[in-house]
Structure 1
């Protein structure tokens, strides 16, 4: 459990899944939240599940099966998870507030939607009997970085295919209501802190945009052409669907894509290197670093950032904040190159040479001390 004083103790079933991992990381940057760790095995161990339940002020129930060749397996699995959660609450005589992730498919004729509807009713019945609070959030289509292709969303599938040289096709060019994972996490956070006196609440989470499937595919193909093939940041304005989609797209790029070498033009006068080309403005800066010194050790949740080494020798390291694997890139000014920093990856740069290191930085938004989107975590 995070060591927080006077904070709300929050556990997330399905913590390792797409929504769960994003929400867990998002809550980690909130000073009024203490996260209670959940592991998938807890649902197979009565004692561990009861200990988890008894440790929480609020439980966000996200654990669920979305896809399976047998629809009955989906239904039975999802309902069984809720039965076990309720049984653990009764066994421990605890009444944590439960926030249930339901779906706008509740009213559709499929067993996944039925499992969500029946699960919600079970939780509400438990709340009536025990005096607990249950809030059900009916969630539209969610997209964001690190999604599982062919499982979480069609956007994850499109991104995966495009990055791997495939050409996705649109089967049903429908309009889709969408919400970005960061916006959904913010909505969960507000509900965690909500002190509504009603014991039973249910509402539809409003989607933040509506897009045609073919429109999204067109944007992703443009990202490939501009960014993946030519290193140019496309037109992704601040606080836009395009920026959210771009950060989703770049999360699928394999780590061996970097470092990318610049084209260096030389003649009798010296050399010329184009560092950055973008369809949007941003902030450019540079730093000098003496040998042996490390800068950074922080991550961002929305910013697009480029490190370009033009003189000296540097080690750039990245680590996804909820994983242990560290990626390292060695860059030297004799062969100028750059590495872009993915969101939710803590990163740093160290001068590993014997002379001054000069690094140029570009970021898609000017620094704002009141909303820095910069969180310090050691790589």
Structure 2
């Protein structure tokens, strides 16, 4: 298990996933290295002096060809200058490289040249260098038209548009949390760090199907780990919401259809909560979870991990609404009424005490 960590590019897409995973595994809070820190060899040396591992995630993915090629080399050169200025160099330097390294494109050639610089520098002071070749990454809160085609398609669908495929090709895809596990040298949560191959057209069609089903408040078919993570990626581009449910009442009482799942069951459970008590205060890395209050009054709160803004919903059994928890968002539910609160919960998989995918975090 890594000890002290320093991370460049910690504010970006992969950097955020890496920090969330490190938090979930109980690792020390990483030292965050900004672009300004990288630009000063002495300041950088002071930050990374004696750390166990430096993970270099900072990079340039899009822009003018010269900016992309030179940007990745320049960032590596700055890191090397800081490493050489260290009186106690890090034990290990890990580079978030790409399978495209050396493929003749500005991005691939820039990544390859950066790897050479880092390898030579770490060899000079005797540290271990890990050159981690990552495929196309996708995951929650990716930046459209920058991080991946998946993020672009998700954003289009979330805004009511439709993906367009101009040139179809095959992609090897890896979820950003699995990429973070590789960089940290840790087992991937919930499975192996396996890539999944899809064409751009297949991605567009599957995400379009997810969006159409989910707009009805229904859960699409999630047949494997990849499907769950692709669905969670789409959900991350939707603003958290309380979606009203139809309540069918007659002289006998009332009926509410809370969960409709296509090709899968998962687990449904119900809880009662006395006034003033809060449940939850945790987050999930992959679990799809739904809350529906069927009796009483409650406040549901959620906050994206490592962010400050809290989203709050007031819900009631008299006007039922579904609230789905985004992955990597801390959430809780509090009984704010005068009587007992009854809540129905649904999750897409059976609870496994050995792998609960539940991480404590106050909202």
- Residue 161 of structure 1 corresponds to 156
Of 235, 247, 260 in structure 2, the residue corresponding to residue 250 of structure 1 is 235
Distance (whole Å) between structure 2 residues aligned to residue 76 and residue 94 of structure 1 = 29
CA contact (8 A) 1:247 1:342 kept: yes
Q: For residue 33 of structure 2, what is the aligned residue in structure 1?
A: 38
Does residue 224 (structure 1) correspond to residue 211 (structure 2)? The answer is yes
1:153-196 Cα shifts (integer Å, max 9, x gaps): 0010000001101111111111111111122122222279xxxx
Aligned equivalents of 2:14, 2:225: Cα separation in 1: 20
State whether structure 2 residue 194 is matched by structure 1 residue 213.
no
Shift of 1:274: 0.9
How far is 1:107 from its partner? 2.4
Deviation at 1:55, TM superposition (A): 4.7
Corresponding position of 1:91: 85
Q: Which residue among 182, 187, 194 is the counterpart of 1:187?
A: 182
Determine the C-alpha separation between the residues in 2 that align with 1:126 and 1:45. Answer: 17
Alignment match, 2:125:
130
Q: 3-state DSSP class of the match of 2:137?
A: strand
* Alignment check: 8 A CA contact 1:140 1:207 kept: no
The Cα offsets for residues 70-116 of structure 1, whole Å up to 9 and x where unpaired, read as 22222222212111211112112333211111112222222221111
Matches within 5 A, 1:184-333: 184-190=179-185, 208-227=195-214, 229-237=215-223, 239-255=224-240, 258-279=241-262, 280-333=264-317
Q: Is the 8 A contact 2:98 2:134 kept in 1?
A: yes
Matched, 1:362 2:343: no
> Which aligned runs of 4 or more in structure 1 are off by greater than 4 angstroms?
none
Give the superposition deviation at 1:206.
7.9
Per-residue CA shift, 1:270-303, capped at 9, x if unaligned? 2111111102111111111111111110000010
With normalisation by structure 2, the TM-score equals 0.94
Is the contact made by 1:8 and 1:34 (CA closer than 8 Å) also made in structure 2? no
C-alpha distance in 2, partners of 1:77/1:212?
Answer: 29
Distance 2:141 2:32 in 1: 20
User: How many Å separate the matches in 1 of 2:34 and 2:166?
Assistant: 37
State the 1:39 CA deviation.
3.0
1:20 aligned onto 2:15: yes
Provide TM-score, normalisation by structure 1. 0.90
Q: Which residue number in structure 2 is paired with residue 81 of structure 1?
A: 75
Distance verdict in 2 for CA 1:94–1:303, change over 3 Å: same
Q: Distance in 1 between matches of 2:176 and 2:305?
A: 17
Residue 8, structure 1, aligned to residue 7, structure 2: no
Q: Distance in 2 between matches of 1:78 and 1:7?
A: 25
- Stretch deviating more after TM superposition (126-135 or 136-145): 126-135
In 2: Cα distance, 1:268 partner to 1:38 partner: 64
Residue 65 (1) aligns with residue 51 (2)? no
Structure-2 separation of matches of 1:364 and 1:126: 47
Structure 2: gaps of 5 or more residues = none
Q: Structure 1 residues 55, 314: CA separation in 2 closer, same or farther (over 3 Å shift)?
A: farther
Q: Please tell me whether residue 101 in structure 1 is matched to residue 96 in structure 2.
A: yes
Aligned length: 357
